[in-house]
Amino acid sequence: MLSTILAGVKLQNPTVLASGIRGVTGSSLVYMAKQGAGALTTKSISLKERKGHPTPVMATYEQGIINAVGLSNPGAEEALPEIEYAVAKSQVPVITSIFASTITEFGKVAEIVAKANPAAIEVNISCPNVEDEFGRPFACDPGISTVVIQKIKKVTSLPVFAKLTPNVNNIGEIAMAAEKGGADGITAINTAGPGMIIDIESATPVLSNKVGGISGPAIKPLAVRCVYDIHKATKLPIIGTGGVNSGRDAVEMIMAGASAVGLGSAVYYRGPDVFKQVSSEIEEFMLKEGYKSIEEMRGVAHEK
């Protein structure tokens, strides 16, 4: 009942560990698989080591979480053994997330991580809190989005998912551009923003980077709308990510057009076994409403 397929990759349930959430080491990824995740996404990996931003890098507020970790990672060659460990030991599909500052680097990173034979590669072209260093995110430009995906598809036959930003006028247009480049699927959305929280006692922004990406319940309606628009524009499989905290939230994403749902902030709010909880809640809803499969439920909001 809960199984779903993403670009030929079968998941036993539609929950996916979102990138950046306990996906730093092979052992932490394997642990999350044991908590019931249908698939795992690694932390985003670049060609060379990146230290990221100094602490504090994360803060919570009433409606969500703001973070500016800054894409810290050890670099592709150093991360490769950890990915290989996760692929070998997790028993669920592993999706490797990558990012780069140039189109050429995207190809190089993809070529390295593909050696671990993950189930798919997620291309992070949409991080909202490193714009000052890399300029405007690639996902804001349809033409560049196409070229980035083309570059990666030249070096690997693995399924490629483009991770998109909500910070555009027409996310459906960007999704179509990624599809034109050969993308096999879409992850939507990355964190929104950037936003800012100020500590009023010290009159200082809370994060060392001053601004950061916004996640959690506050962005769920935005994410649902983006998934809806993408599904309307292209029939590529979508991993709907952004504020999903319960089975009902997940169903909302699926009805908008997602084939699977990414869980990130939900791990903070409900604990690492949130994948089992959300899967159980989805199944309960499906039994109550008479849905027999995820695919039967996918995109039904477009029929109304």
- Give tens-digit pLDDT for 237-261: 999 999 999 999 999 999 999 999 9
In the set 100, 127, 183, 224, the catalytic residue is 127
Catalytic residue list contains 127: yes
Stretch 280-304: mean pLDDT, rounded?
97
Number of domains observed in the structure of the chain? 1
What pLDDT does 101 receive? 87
Q: Which domain holds residue 54?
A: 4-303
Asked if pLDDT for residue 128 goes beyond 70, the answer is no
What pLDDT does 133 receive? 44
CATH assignment of the domain containing 52? 3.20.20.70
Strand partners, 260: 239
b/e code 38-63 from CB counts within 10 Å (16+ = b): bbbbbbbbbbeebeebeeebbbeeee
Instruction: Report the distance separating Cα 185 and Cα 285, nearest Å.
Output: 26
What pLDDT does 127 receive? 64
Instruction: Report the distance separating Cα 298 and Cα 86, nearest Å.
Output: 29
Strand partners, 239: 187, 260
How many residues are recorded in the chain?
Answer: 304
* Mean predicted lDDT score pLDDT of the chain: 94
Cut 0.85: pTM above it: yes
Nearest CA among 260, 167, 259 for reference residue 214: 167
Asked if pLDDT for residue 135 goes beyond 60, the answer is no
- Residue 218: band (very low, low, confident or very high) from pLDDT cuts 50, 70, 90: very high
Stretch 58-77: mean pLDDT, rounded?
94
Within 8 A by CB and 6+ apart from 62, the residues are none
- Residue 130: band (very low, low, confident or very high) from pLDDT cuts 50, 70, 90: very low
Nearest CA among 150, 95, 157, 100 for reference residue 125: 100
Stretch 140-169: mean pLDDT, rounded?
94
Within 8 A by CB and 6+ apart from 270, the residues are 245, 277
